[in-house]
Amino acid sequence: NAGVTQTPKFRVLKTGQSMTLLCAQDMNHEYMYWYRQDPGMGLRLIHYSVGEGTTAKGEVPDGYNVSRLKKQNFLLGLESAAPSQTSVYFCASSLQGSRYNEQFFGPGTRLTVL
Amino acid sequence: AQSVTQLDSHVSVSEGTPVLLRCNYSSSYSPSLFWYVQHPNKGLQLLLKYTSAATLVKGINGFEAEFKKSETSFHLTKPSAHMSDAAEYFCVVNAKTSYDKVIFGPGTSLSVIP
């Protein structure tokens, strides 16, 4: 099992450009999450999904969109990148909700917006 | 409202000495609590979790944590630090049944001196 994988690992964008981050999991998990990690702030939830075809907003959703067309994939899109979106992005998945269940994390995508 | 406080942003110990990473939480509900570890340039990995069973929880790599409701604490300990323990540690609380209420602490960076 590969677990949770993220593509790409690194990316540099110019302000206003768009991009999509791909997350894939092979554990048949229902729940998937996108977080951003900034220094001194821990991880903050951007969007999440409780199953194929569903998405919902987390703590910091502005400027991002997501889609979950297939159970194993969760895409994070930036339509018009801004320097404030420079961050490390982590995808995670869990079998069910996060109250009792461990989240499994991908290795992260480091995004720089110039 | 929920919140997580990690009292030390950085802890430095000598190899072979005990480790104590402190976490306090605030929650109106009976919480689930987690400790995750993040090694440099890696994703997060679960160390241990408390979900209302035994208050002393044992995790991987010799770590353990004790849930103390009266002190609203969930401190992480290890009797003897190893060089490989150098990493960032996150305390996480989930005090609702909904999956979007996971709150990450800001993290504690652990350094281990040879």
CB contact (8 A) between residue B99 and residue A48: yes
Region label for B95, one of left (φ > 0), alpha (ψ between -120 and 50) or beta (otherwise): alpha
Total structural domains in chain B?
1
CB contact (8 A) between residue A41 and residue B106: yes
B36 interaction partners in chain A (CB closer than 8 Å): 105
Spell out the domains of chain A, with CATH numbers in brackets.
4-113 (2.60.40.10)
| All residues at 6 or more sequence positions from B53 whose CB lies less than 8 Å from its CB, including other chains | none
Provide the percentage of residues in chain A whose pLDDT is more than 70: 98
Tens digit of pLDDT at every position of chain B (114 positions): 778 999 999 999 999 999 999 999 988 777 889 999 999 888 899 999 998 778 899 999 999 999 999 999 999 999 999 999 999 999 998 866 555 568 899 999 999 999
| A48 touching B (Cβ < 8 Å) | yes
Task: Find the residue in A nearest to B46 (Cα).
Answer: A102
CATH code (residue B20) = 2.60.40.10
pLDDT tens by residue, A20-52: 999 999 999 999 999 999 987 889 999 999 999
Predicted local confidence at residue B95, as pLDDT: 67
| All residues at 6 or more sequence positions from B44 whose CB lies less than 8 Å from its CB, including other chains | A43, A90, A92, A103, A105, B36, B37, B38, B90
Q: Closest approach of chain B CAs to the CA of A108, in angstroms?
A: 6
Q: For residue B50, which amino acid is it?
A: Y
Judged on CB neighbours under 10 Å (0-12, 13-18, 19+), A84 is exposed
